[in-house]
Amino acid sequence: MTIRSCQHSLYVKQMFDRSSCTYTYLLVDPKTHEGAIIDAVEEQLDRDLKYIGELGIELLYIIETHIHADHVSSAGLLRQLTGAKIVYSHYAEVKSIDIEVKDGDVLPLGQYNIRAIRTPGHTNGCMSYYVDGMVFTGDTLLIRGCGRTDFQQGDPKNLYNSITKKLFSLADETVIYPGHDYNGNTWSTIAEEKKWNPRVGLQKSQDDFLQIMRHLNLDLPAKINEAVPANEGCGTNFKPNVHISDNFSMSELYKVWQQENPDTLIIDNRTIEEFVAGHIPHSLNIPFGTELQHLEELKGFKHIYIYCHSGRRAQVALINLTKKGVENIKCVSHSGLPEWIAMDYPIEATR
């Protein structure tokens, strides 16, 4: 795993799935903690939830670069567990997605904009995503390679144009984060690939490229018959081994709060700054991402309730705590403090 971070940059965590050689990326605005995940893999769901929790990410987007043929995506499950929205290309023809993007569309993420760049060729629905000097290329452009074009409406002419006309028109210093690597490489730049990519760099012509792509003679991905149909439905054909909370409402939490039971703990899962500005009286502030530091303390309560602003952080915190053996915990998963305030329930501010 590698992490790109500096104080004023978008924080990027690159994670690797060994069985499919897939890279998954977590993107986080360090100021707002809003985040996105790109190309999440089913088998790595627990890993991804753990990092989302530890990094305190309020996940807004589950982005897929294309319909993968070599692994099943965890997009549907992540949506169920975090409330984030699934993003696919308009041209990918995937069922039950939340946001369809076309070339040039923008996804706001805190102080950043993620820009979709349509890059068909490996599949017709391939989309690359540019943000803050980085481009996430999926299987369109790999390090010293590119995606294959022999199934899923693959088209080598389209791929050549996507790489040479669209991706290579980005600034030379743009960092490339690919969807896969089979040789241990982690990232590259547009300048490097323009010069050294043996398929499309070194001023290779379209005819040179077509010759190379026609003679690859690759075996089909082992999981193609399972992965493609599953991913056409957001990869939801999978039963989670993690706890999914029933929706516990703010009005139910108010009834619990009124009982003032000493065996009951109400956790405010928001940041310290949000908590200080106003919170449910007698609730305990355990900011999102720090829950696991309080395991022993939490095990002393018979009933635990957790809330945040929208329910997204609390839901992930609940999953991570449940997996560590914290029982009798419920979360307000579809709303948060604004609903409590709207209902005119008591609020306490800390000076």
Residues that bind Fe ion (CB under 5 A): 139
Nearer to Fe ion by Cβ, of 138 and 311: the residue is 138
Nearer to Fe ion by Cβ, of 29 and 139: the residue is 139
Query: Coil, helix or strand for 283?
Result: coil
Q: CA of 253: how far to CAs of 169, 268, 295, 308, in Å? A: 54, 12, 22, 12
For 78, the token pair is: 């992540």
Contact in structure between 143 and 187 (CB atoms under 8 Å): yes
Nearer to Fe ion by Cβ, of 42 and 139: the residue is 139
Nearer to Fe ion by Cβ, of 129 and 301: the residue is 129
Rounded CA-CA distance 151/129 in Å is 22
Phi, psi torsion values for 109, nearest 5 degrees = -140, 95
Nearer to Fe ion by Cβ, of 140 and 271: the residue is 140
Q: How far is the CB of 185 from Fe ion (least distance, A)?
A: 17
Residue with structure tokens 């089979």?
A: 182
Burial class, 240, CB count within 10 angstroms (exposed 0-12 / middle 13-18 / buried 19+): middle
Q: How far is the CB of 55 from Fe ion (least distance, A)?
A: 27
Nearer to Fe ion by Cβ, of 34 and 139: the residue is 139
Nearer to Fe ion by Cβ, of 105 and 139: the residue is 139
* Closest to 317 in 3D by CA, of 140, 309, 343, 13: 309
Q: How far is the CB of 152 from Fe ion (least distance, A)?
A: 8
Gyration radius from the chain CA atoms: 22
Nearer to Fe ion by Cβ, of 233 and 240: the residue is 233
- The residue of the chain with the least Cβ separation from Fe ion equals 139
For 26, the token pair is: 């977590």
Q: How far is the CB of 19 from Fe ion (least distance, A)?
A: 15
Contact in structure between 149 and 9 (CB atoms under 8 Å): no
Convert 108-122 to b/e letters by CB count within 10 Å (16 or more is b).
ebbebebbbbbbbbb
Q: How far is the CB of 5 from Fe ion (least distance, A)?
A: 28
Q: How far is the CB of 135 from Fe ion (least distance, A)?
A: 16
Rounded CA-CA distance 70/141 in Å is 17
For 341, the token pair is: 């305030």
Our CA angle for 62, 12, 52, nearest 5°, is 55
Q: How far is the CB of 167 from Fe ion (least distance, A)?
A: 16
Q: How far is the CB of 139 from Fe ion (least distance, A)?
A: 4
Phi, psi torsion values for 113, nearest 5 degrees = -125, 130
Residue with structure tokens 């986080």?
A: 28
Q: How far is the CB of 225 from Fe ion (least distance, A)?
A: 15
Nearer to Fe ion by Cβ, of 151 and 254: the residue is 151
H/E segment holding residue 96: none
